[in-house]
Amino acid sequence: MGTTVRPAALEDAAAACVVLRRSIQECCQQDHQDDSARLDAWLGNKTPATIGSWIASPTNHMLVAVRDGALVGVALLTQSGKLPLCYVLPEFQHCGVGKALLDSVEAKARAWGIGALSLKSTAGACDFFARNGYTNGGMEKTCYGLECSLFWKKLNAAPGADAAGGKRFCNCNAP
């Protein structure tokens, strides 16, 4: 059965938390190196309550990937063009789930009139983002003290998406 990507609902927060925590713990060992302090810092805000607040925020667009009725992936887009989350359960990596999430995020970004996306990638996800047209802009530290790669991708905006149409979320063109 295929993967369905849909907007996250508040009732998805607990399952999304499981996806995030498992993916970080099991797939990002190259980044956290099983260092409990690093891992604890990274996982500290990965709680159902915090994820619920991300879902509820009007400046975010959180998506979930569902396969066979189970939530298997999570992505979060901000109106500033950042992609702070794009995680998939370990057993569903390399099955098209991440690509489906990324395609949906990019479509929403275009609809919002966002011209470029940026993200901080884990070591294990760098090849995934590069394969999907993202450019590696060099290394950067995360707020958790981890080294990561800063990626970006220029998007073609959706037709009619512009500041006059209310789809731009900064005030850079304000009088």
The whole model's pTM is what? 0.82
CATH number at residue 112: 3.40.630.30
Q: Could you list the mean pLDDT of each consecutive 10-residue stretch along the chain, which spans 175 residues?
A: 92 96 80 77 86 96 96 97 94 92 97 94 87 88 74 76 42 39
Residue 172 falls within a domain, yes or no? no
Q: Could you write out the three-class secondary structure of the chain? A: CCEEEEECCHHHHHHHHHHHHHHHHHHCHHHHCCCHHHHHHHHCCCCHHHHHHHHHCCCEEEEEEEECCEEEEEEEEECCCECCEEEECHHHCCCCHHHHHHHHHHHHHHHCCCCEEEEEECHHHHHHHHHCCCEEEEEEECCCCCEEEEEEEECCCCCCCCHHHCCCCCCCCCC
Residue 113 falls within a domain, yes or no? yes
Residue 174 falls within a domain, yes or no? no
- Provide the domain limits for residue 85: 3-165
- Count the domains in the chain: 1
pLDDT in tens, 63-87: 999 999 999 999 999 999 999 999 9
Residue 54 falls within a domain, yes or no? yes
